[in-house]
């Protein structure tokens, strides 16, 4: 069985106010080309089709037209699309029945009343157990193992068994994702790969945007990653994965196919932040004809970000690039000099003193107007408290 494993398309994503439809269109064209060239048995899209649960009509049309093009590029191919945490699971299934006429399976929500509906049999090729995003607790009580066992009981021909899920697996490289700690990524609690169960030949994952294998001793648990970067911190190569499995019990053979990004996300400088004079120079020297998105990291404790940002926008005005983010990074020494207080000291301070210290640490001017505003707010709050 040959599977094209992808996920996290995030169609409809707007980056710093810029519409990304053109890039998405070019990425989707590449998908169609890859399908015509490799003719997979299964096209597996593991969640986060859209960036929001309310994609525009135009974005939904773009996706639906793409499904038709993928089908036409390889009519014998089974297309499986699960919903991710960014998608609306119920909307994902609205046209589930008509799509089945084109061998497209739209799996949006976990159907606990009919779990077998998640098993998709690809005649003479293999099985795919397609699980959409669902709260992690739903996956931790042996539910997946039950489904795997059900497939194995029927799999008399020893065909390959693939499981797909949209979740956070502990031990993955989460670079590029916002995290509250090492356990919760993009709002999904991490689970260990052993909690998923065993007996599958390949676990196709969505949610983490960095393409990677999860270390299990075997190369059979993988995030395909997103085909295009969604944030500036996803500064790694983006691709899809072509997976081939001969028979149940045999190791999958994986090949990554790079997706070209017509508008790369570029951070200036590429590594450490630098003073504005240097960054301005980099921006001035940035080639006029490159359409990249730009983020700058400026090292400073005194800069006026509004003014400097305006200057950056002016420099970019006559270039093809799209200026996005002006990020001010404080020098290390400054950051370390931040005020440290004991709990006792803190409790003895007046609110205005705390505010003054905070403003100093954050390099926010705390002038007479700000002081007056603070006193006013404090008074209003104290009044509220008294009334309550």
Residue 149: how many other CB atoms lie within 10 Å: 13
Given the complex with Mn ion, which of 8 and 234 has the nearer CB atom?
Answer: 8
Task: Calculate ∠ Cα 340-343-348, nearest 5°.
Answer: 100
CB of 111 to Mn ion, least distance (A): 22
Are the CB atoms for 92 and 106 separated by under 8 Å? yes
234 binds Mn ion (CB under 5 A): no
Stretch that binds Mn ion, among 1-9, 61-69, 286-294, 368-376 (CB under 5 A): 1-9
Given the complex with Mn ion, which of 9 and 293 has the nearer CB atom?
Answer: 9
How far is C-alpha 358 from the chain's CA centre? 33
As a whole number of angstroms, the distance between CA 18 and CA 324 comes to: 9
CB of 166 to Mn ion, least distance (A): 8
87 binds Mn ion (CB under 5 A): no
Give me the 13-52 binding string for Mn ion, x by CB under 5 A, dash otherwise.
-----------------------------------x----
Stretch that binds Mn ion, among 8-16, 194-202, 265-273, 330-338 (CB under 5 A): 8-16
CB of 8 to Mn ion, least distance (A): 4
Residue 51: how many other CB atoms lie within 10 Å: 22
Question: Inter-axis angle of helices 276-285 and 305-317, to 10 degrees?
Answer: 10
Are the CB atoms for 283 and 266 separated by under 8 Å? no
As a whole number of angstroms, the distance between CA 91 and CA 105 comes to: 14
Given the complex with Mn ion, which of 8 and 201 has the nearer CB atom?
Answer: 8
CB of 179 to Mn ion, least distance (A): 13
* Residue 25, both tokens: 């269109």
Phi first, then psi: what are they for 210, rounded to 5°?
-90, 115
8 binds Mn ion (CB under 5 A): yes
With a CB cutoff of 8 Å and minimum separation 6, the contacts of 196 are 139, 144, 145, 163, 165, 169, 203
Are the CB atoms for 91 and 60 separated by under 8 Å? no
CB of 218 to Mn ion, least distance (A): 25
CB of 152 to Mn ion, least distance (A): 30
Given the complex with Mn ion, which of 48 and 201 has the nearer CB atom?
Answer: 48
Q: What is the DSSP letter of 339?
A: -
3-class secondary structure, 181: coil
Given the complex with Mn ion, which of 177 and 263 has the nearer CB atom?
Answer: 177
Site for Mn ion in 274-293 (CB under 5 A): none
Give me the 237-276 binding string for Mn ion, x by CB under 5 A, dash otherwise.
----------------------------------------
Given the complex with Mn ion, which of 48 and 234 has the nearer CB atom?
Answer: 48
Give me the 46-65 binding string for Mn ion, x by CB under 5 A, dash otherwise.
--x-----------------
CB of 48 to Mn ion, least distance (A): 4
The H-assigned helical ranges of 74-142 are 89-92, 96-100
Given the complex with Mn ion, which of 23 and 48 has the nearer CB atom?
Answer: 48
Q: What is the DSSP letter of 33?
A: H
Positions in the binding site for Mn ion (CB under 5 A): 8, 48
């Amino acid at each position: 069985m040959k599977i094209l494993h992808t996920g996290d398309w995030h169609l409809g994503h707007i980056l710093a106010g810029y519409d990304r439809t053109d890039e998405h269109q070019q990425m989707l064209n590449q998908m169609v080309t890859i399908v015509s060239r490799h003719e997979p048995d299964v096209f597996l899209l593991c969640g986060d089709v859209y960036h929001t649960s309310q994609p525009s009509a135009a974005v939904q049309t773009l996706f639906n037209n793409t499904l038709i093009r993928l089908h036409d590029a390889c009519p014998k191919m089974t297309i499986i699309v699960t919903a991710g945490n960014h998608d609306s699971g119920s909307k994902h299934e609205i046209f589930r029945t008509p799509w089945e006429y084109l061998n497209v399976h739209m799996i949006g929500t976990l159907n606990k009343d009919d779990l077998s509906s998640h098993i998709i049999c690809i005649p003479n090729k293999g099985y795919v157990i397609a699980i959409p995003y669902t709260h992690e607790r739903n996956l931790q009580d042996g539910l997946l193992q039950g489904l795997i066992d059900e497939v194995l009981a029927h799999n008399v021909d020893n065909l390959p068994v693939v499981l797909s899920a949209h979740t956070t697996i502990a031990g993955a490289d989460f670079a590029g994702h916002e995290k509250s700690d090492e356990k919760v990524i993009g709002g999904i609690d991490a689970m260990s790969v052993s909690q998923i169960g065993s007996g599958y030949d390949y676990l196709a994952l969505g949610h983490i945007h960095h393409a990677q294998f999860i270390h299990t001793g075997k190369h059979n648990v993988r995030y395909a990653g997103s085909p295009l970067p969604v944030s500036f911190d996803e500064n790694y190569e983006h691709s899809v994965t072509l997976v081939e499995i001969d028979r149940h019990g045999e190791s999958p053979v994986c090949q990554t196919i790079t997706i070209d990004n017509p508008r790369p996300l570029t951070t200036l400088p590429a590594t450490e932040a630098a003073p504005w004079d240097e960054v301005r120079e980099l921006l001035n020297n940035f080639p006029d004809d490159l359409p990249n998105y730009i983020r700058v990291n400026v090292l400073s404790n005194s800069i006026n970000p509004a003014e400097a940002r305006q200057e950056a926008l002016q420099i970019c005005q006559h270039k093809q690039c799209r200026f996005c983010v002006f990020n001010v990074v404080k020098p290390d020494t400054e950051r370390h000099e931040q005020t440290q207080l004991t709990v006792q000291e803190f409790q003895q301070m007046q609110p205005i003193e705390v505010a003054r210290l905070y403003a100093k640490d954050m390099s926010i001017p705390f002038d007479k107007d700000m002081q007056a505003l603070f006193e006013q707010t404090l008074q209003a709050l104290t009044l509220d408290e008294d009334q309550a």
